[in-house]
Amino acid sequence: MNKLIELTNIYKTYHTGKIAFEALKNIDLIIEAGEYAAILGPSGSGKSTLMHILGCLSTPTAGSYLLDNREVSKFSRNELATVRNQKIGFVFQSFNLVPQLNIVDNVSLPLVYRGVGLMQRTKRAKEILAQLGLDTHFAHKPGELSGGQQQRAAIARALVTEPDIVLADEPTGNLDTQSGAEVIKLFETLSASGKTIIIITHDHSVAERARRIIKIRDGKIE
Amino acid sequence: MAVSLGQISKELFAQKTRLFLTILAITWGTLSIAMMLSIGQGLRVTFAKAVANTGQNLLIVQQGKTAKLFRGSHKNTAVSFHKQDLQAISKLPDVRYVSPQYSWEAKVTYGTKTNYQPILAVSADYNKIHSIDIQSPGRFISPIDEQQYSRVVVLGNKVLTDLKLKITDPIGKTIFMSGIPFKIIGIMQEKSQISAGRTTPDANTIWIPSATYEMIKNPTSMPSIAITYKDHTNLEVLENQIQRTLAFNHNLNPDDDSIIEFKESAKQQNTFDTFFLGMQIFLGIIGSLTLAVAGIGIANVMYASVKRSTRIIGIRMAIGAKTYHIVMHYVLEAIIATAIGGAFGLLLSGGLIYIIDFIPMNGPLFDTIGKPHPVLSGFVIACVVMILGLVGFLAGLFPALKASRIDPSEALSYE
């Protein structure tokens, strides 16, 4: 199989005043293309820090991160932005849609930063929203949608750039059971179509639906 | 540029209170700067016209005294002008119009009213030299009046008031000056004037043909000569030519520059122009400061907006926004708000200037210089747009730079 992600000896240290806190210690992790993995851990275990490093939102204090055979741990801010835009789709617990924009504009936003023209990006956003069953809500703003609908819009935004990896941080955390189940179902469908999916969660029932569980505790993979 | 103006506008317009306050501040700033510049421009134009009404390209030649010995002529001898001097000057290539100026204070009588009035005897070209227009019906002194030594008189528009006379139809009526009857042929149209060279304003002056004066009074010399020179004349060269012409006629030293005195209106015009340009710049600076305060207001609103949007900025970064996307976003927001406020401000200024034109302005100042008309000229608009652009750009730039330095991983956990 093709190694999509290869973390070797990753450390992440935060400094608050004079106190140093090691959020991640000596992490080694390989995730192959097409995997559906869950990173499971209680709060404060370092799973969010790991997700930020995997998602190129921050860089490790030490260690190597090969993403699609490129060493990204020393990339500049703008290089990381490009990597995020091209390779990663994020899904967050609190959806994180821009409240002033309707969902078509929200979903097309990553394509704006990629330089795609208005017509093309709108068409693409509408297509993907339609696939996710939101075709009757194009003009709605996030506040006018239910939690489940908002999360589906957020997933549409994650998928619109056709990323290599979908990174989901507690995607069902703010949803009722039924909407949560629908979202998990959606990830399974995506996984079946060959997309690499990584879910970060503290919820065993969510993690168990993945094909691989990576347990993290006190900044270490167990 | 990979930034969507449409999306930025949508986000901006979704936050109505913020947008309204920002636009209000900029509208007010623009209004003040546009009004200041317009009033400055209005004063400049009004004064320039008032100075020009005394006579554009006007040169007055006055008698002087010799300072150098020459072929038997002595020092300190008064030089007096004669008709042949006037004729010689009129033949110089750069001279367009010439007129003698004999001034005479005479007892003026109409019916039972009597007053001492300044009278100026001039040639038929004098109206062109001094920008004098005549009310209809009526006319200025003509060359025929000069040939026939006509006893005709043209009155400044305030002369009748000076005489405390209310004549409904003055043309053709007779007034007496030192007991000699003259027929009124014209009344000057009202004009603004800043006196250059003479102390009596044209409005209070009585003009008669110089030939008529010469016949009646038989003067020994001409005290001064008024000249209009052609455009693009080198004044120094012309003055030198006049000096040499007169020196030749009077057998004086051609290098003696004290035989005549010159009074140039151009110099005065330049002084006024510089003064009012300075005043306009000063007013412009005051207006700009108001606008700068508005700009600081915008910057503050933008800073607060950046702070509140920290999480959204984190999301934008997570989905691929680079530093310049974030910077452009906030700079464009500020520029859009500034542009809208600026447009409102300019429209309001235009309206206000239109209304100001209907406000009556009276008093001795406005009688002399005329009523100033604030002008929202292309120059003023260009200044305002340039300053607005700068203010908008700076007001957006600093909050935008702050936004672009936000760490995406921290911003995403910001509540």
Q: Which of B10, B320, B409 sits opposite A110 (nearest CB)?
A: B320
pLDDT classification of B196: cutoffs 50, 70, 90: very low
CB pairs under 8 A between A and B: 79
Tell me whether residues B322 and A78 touch, CB distance under 8 A.
yes
Q: Give the range among A31-35, B44-48, B193-197, B358-362 with minimum mean pLDDT.
A: B193-197
pLDDT classification of B263: cutoffs 50, 70, 90: confident
Whether B219 has a pLDDT exceeding 50, the answer reads yes
How high is the pLDDT of residue B370? 63
Judged by a CB distance cut-off of 8 A, whether residue A114 touches chain B is yes
The answer to whether residues B184 and B153 touch, using CB atoms and an 8 Å cutoff, is yes
pLDDT classification of B367: cutoffs 50, 70, 90: low
Q: Which residue of A has its CA nearest to B326?
A: A113
pLDDT classification of B195: cutoffs 50, 70, 90: low
C-alpha distance from residue A62 to each of A26, B185, B283, B340 (Å) = 9, 104, 60, 50
The answer to whether residues A174 and A203 touch, using CB atoms and an 8 Å cutoff, is no
Residues of chain B with Cβ-Cβ distance to A76 below 8 Å are none
Q: Which of A82, A84, A112 sits opposite B318 (nearest CB)?
A: A84
Of B359, B285, B261, B215, which is closest to residue B64 (Cα–Cα)? B261
Residues of chain B with Cβ-Cβ distance to A82 below 8 Å are 320, 322
Q: Give the range among B87-91, B186-190, B221-225, B411-415 with minimum mean pLDDT.
A: B411-415
Of all residues in chain B, the percent with pLDDT exceeding 90 is 11
Highest mean pLDDT among A57-61, B62-66, B77-81, B364-368: A57-61
Give the mean pLDDT of A95-104. 91
Q: Note the pLDDT tens digit of each residue in B281-308.
A: 888 888 788 878 878 887 888 888 888 8
CA–CA dist B285, B292 (Å, integer)? 10
How high is the pLDDT of residue B130? 82
Q: What does the buried/exposed string (b/e) look like for A49-69 if buried means 16 or more CB atoms within 10 Å of the residue's CB?
A: bbbbbbbbbbbbbebebbbbe
Average model confidence (pLDDT) across chain A: 91
Tell me whether residues B2 and A48 touch, CB distance under 8 A.
no
Q: Note the pLDDT tens digit of each residue in B84-112.
A: 888 888 888 888 999 999 988 888 888 88
| Other CB atoms within 10 Å distance of the CB of residue B379 | 12
CA–CA dist A43, A48 (Å, integer)? 9
Give the mean pLDDT of B53-78. 75
Judged by a CB distance cut-off of 8 A, whether residue A118 touches chain B is yes
Q: Note the pLDDT tens digit of each residue in A180-207.
A: 898 999 999 999 988 999 999 998 988 8
Give the minimum alpha-carbon distance from A58 to chain B in angstroms, rounded to a whole number.
6
Give the mean pLDDT of A100-127. 92
Give the mean pLDDT of A111-131. 92
pLDDT classification of A156: cutoffs 50, 70, 90: very high
Residues of chain A with Cβ-Cβ distance to B316 below 8 Å are 98, 109, 113
Q: Give the range among A2-16, A181-195, B131-145, B154-168 with minimum mean pLDDT.
A: B154-168
Tell me whether residues B2 and A118 touch, CB distance under 8 A.
no
Tell me whether residues B3 and A58 touch, CB distance under 8 A.
no
- Restricting to A residues 163-222, those with a Cβ less than 8 Å away from any Cβ of B are none
How high is the pLDDT of residue A54? 93
The answer to whether residues B275 and B29 touch, using CB atoms and an 8 Å cutoff, is no
Give the mean pLDDT of A33-39. 93
CA–CA dist A21, A27 (Å, integer)? 15
SS (H, E, C) B219-282: CCCECEEEEEECCCCCHHHHHHHHHHHHHHHCCCCCCCCCCEEEEEHHHHHHHHHHHHHHHHHH
Average model confidence (pLDDT) across chain B: 82
Residues of chain B with Cβ-Cβ distance to A115 below 8 Å are 2
Sign of CA dihedral B349, B354, B360, B366: positive
Judged by a CB distance cut-off of 8 A, whether residue A112 touches chain B is yes
Tell me whether residues A105 and B319 touch, CB distance under 8 A.
no
Give the mean pLDDT of B225-242. 86
CA–CA dist B21, B23 (Å, integer)? 5
How high is the pLDDT of residue B110? 83
Highest mean pLDDT among A20-34, B75-89, B112-126: A20-34
